[in-house]
Chain A
Amino acid sequence: GAGVSQTPSNKVTEKGKYVELRCDPISGHTALYWYRQSLGQGPEFLIYFQGTGAADDSGLPNDRFFAVRPEGSVSTLKIQRTERGDSAVYLCASSARGRGVEAFFGQGTRLTVV
């Protein structure tokens, strides 16, 4: 596809369940980012991949959150034992290498934990 694709668009899950959120970056983009946006707030950084490896995971809030990018393209954000406080929009972005390059965002996954 032409842009960053995130699936599902919306996800409702029960407290304590496990969820996976998927991000398909723009083809050829080596950098991939996950952000979390709570209601009425700006996005907060979670994790950054350069290729297959997590170059910076300093934004992951706790060990219930994990992300992978096994082949350097698609990434999955995994949340275990979901809590109501995890409810937010999860945004994915990708960019090419290079100085000053733009990050392109997907439309996000709205996660609601009930």
Chain B
Amino acid sequence: AQTVTQSQPEMSVQEAETVTLSCTYDTSESDYYLFWYKQPPSRQMILVIRQEAYKQQNATENRFSVNFQKAAKSFSLKISDSQLGDAAMYFCAYRRGYNQGGKLIFGQGTELSVKP
């Protein structure tokens, strides 16, 4: 069975600084996707960034980038130039490959606070 682990329950960053959230996962499959979701107090999960396992290049979306280490089964999220609006719960998630069903397996979450 696949598992996702986030070992940092809480993180804090100064506005405009950079922060990295950690995530490790366990799977025996070679085809899968990894995601970072943001959940503000409104409860709605918002996709931040995704990575396909077969792509070696790390995904980047504006201020958000990942460090995908497939052999180490590590998938960290870097937020650059942190903004007050980045404060939220962040969840790392795993999904099996195409045609394997699309259910997501989530980590326990990291609560990010941004200090002005």
Interface-side segment among A15-23, A64-72, A76-84, A104-112: A104-112
Residue of B52, B104, B105 near A103 (CB, 8 A) is: B104
Residues of B within 8 A of A107 (CB): 42-44
Q: B43 near A31 (CB under 8 angstroms)?
A: no
Interface string of B94-116 (1 = CB under 8 A from A): 00001001111111110000000
**A23-41 interface with B by 8 A CB criterion:** 31, 33, 35, 40-41
Bound complex: CA A28 to CA B89 (Å): 29
Contact B106 A42 (CB under 8 A): yes
Q: From the candidates B50, B52, B101, B106, name the one contacting A44 in the complex (CB within 8 A).
A: B106
Q: Tell me the chain B residues, 8-48 only, with Cβ under 8 Å from chain A.
A: 33, 42-47
Given the complex of chains A and B, what is the CA–CA distance between A99 and B93 in angstroms? 16
Q: At the interface, yes or no: B91 with Cβ under 8 Å from chain A?
A: yes
Size category of the A interface is: 20 to 34
- Determine if A43 and B104 form an interchain contact, defined as CB atoms under 8 angstroms apart: yes
Q: Which residues of A contact B43 (CB under 8 A)?
A: 89, 91, 107-108, 110
Chain A nearest CB: distance from B4 CB in Å? Answer: 8
- Tell me whether A55 and B101 are in contact (CB under 8 A): yes
B: residues with CB less than 8 A from A are 4, 6, 33, 42-47, 50, 52, 91, 93, 98, 101-109
Interface on A for B, CB 8 Å cutoff?
A: 31, 33, 35, 40-45, 48, 55-56, 59, 89, 91, 93, 95, 99-103, 105-108, 110
Would you mind naming 11 contact pairs between A and B with Cβ atoms under 8 Å apart?
A: A35-B104, A41-B108, A42-B93, A42-B106, A44-B106, A48-B101, A102-B47, A102-B50, A105-B44, A107-B43, A110-B43
